[in-house]
Structure 1
């Protein structure tokens, strides 16, 4: 498994934003009101990711990785990295969707009262997506093995 590339996340976010913008532009009149709780669902995911990152990082730094008691199993670290990669993709898609809705609502906020009432929920959702991506990328970084002092090739 390779590290998540920012370019891939940007492509997902832009694709989701365009799709959401096209859909919301067409169906905004039938969409129920958007509450701040609608977009807040990714905040608990980001909190869990931060906790996982702290645990993995502390165990890797203290070299407590292994199958024994009090150690973090290597498979658990690999699972944390896979979880982080999946969360980064979901966060990018969610941020893109909320950004697409935001692009539609900002020009309408002075014209439609519903648009101005929906803006806080949309902003909460967009920020939640970005925060989730940040937390996921940090967990991926924490899952990297520390560099061993003797692994560097001799300078030529």
Structure 2
């Protein structure tokens, strides 16, 4: 599995921002106020992934008091991190598109939706950051090349 490419996240966010802008520009008068529960979920996921990244990093680096790491769990965390970073980028872009449209609309309803749009951008960016940190924490640290070279030269090996 390859590390997440930041350009993929930027392109996804820009596409989602364009979609959010178009959605609000055509349907805002039919929509209810922006909801807060998805924002809270994104923020909770960001906190959970940040804590998971801290724990995983300590376990991979064999820090004192840390339990041994399960390789299958780390692989699952890496997949979670890749999916979360993309979902966070899409959500951040969508919320940014909403926010930019709301900032230009002078109506009272639009002004009331701005805090939720800001919360959406912030929580989604926090999720992207936590997911990228978790992905980085799942990397295996480089080993000593000297030890590997010595084991290759052991008697009985060709």
TM-score (norm 1): 0.87
CA distance in 1, matches of 2:56, 2:39: 28
Q: 1:38, CA displacement in angstroms?
A: 4.3
Check the 8 A contact 2:99/2:114 in 1, yes or no.
Answer: yes
Q: 1:62 to 1:38 in 2, by over 3 A?
A: closer
Q: 1:38 to 1:82 in 2, by over 3 A?
A: closer
Matched positions, count: 146
Q: 1:41, CA displacement in angstroms?
A: 2.1
Q: Secondary structure at the match of 2:145?
A: coil
CA distance in 2, matches of 1:144, 1:87: 17
Check the 8 A contact 2:62/2:68 in 1, yes or no.
Answer: no
CA distance in 1, matches of 2:126, 2:99: 17
Root-mean-square deviation (CA, aligned residues, Å) is 2.0
Corresponding residue for residue 67 of structure 1: none
Q: Residue deviations 1:106-156, cap 9 Å, x none?
A: 011xx20011110000000011110100000000111111111326xxxxx
CA distance in 1, matches of 2:142, 2:102: 48
Corresponding residue for residue 49 of structure 1: 49
Asked whether 1:138 is paired with 2:125, we answer no
Q: Residue deviations 1:20-40, cap 9 Å, x none?
A: 111110000011012444423
CA distance in 2, matches of 1:71, 1:62: 7
Asked whether 1:27 is paired with 2:65, we answer no
Q: Residue deviations 1:34-92, cap 9 Å, x none?
A: 2444423201100110111011100111179xxxxx42210111110000000001000
Unaligned 5+ segments in structure 1 are 65-69, 152-156
Check the 8 A contact 1:17/1:100 in 2, yes or no.
Answer: yes
CA distance in 1, matches of 2:85, 2:139: 16
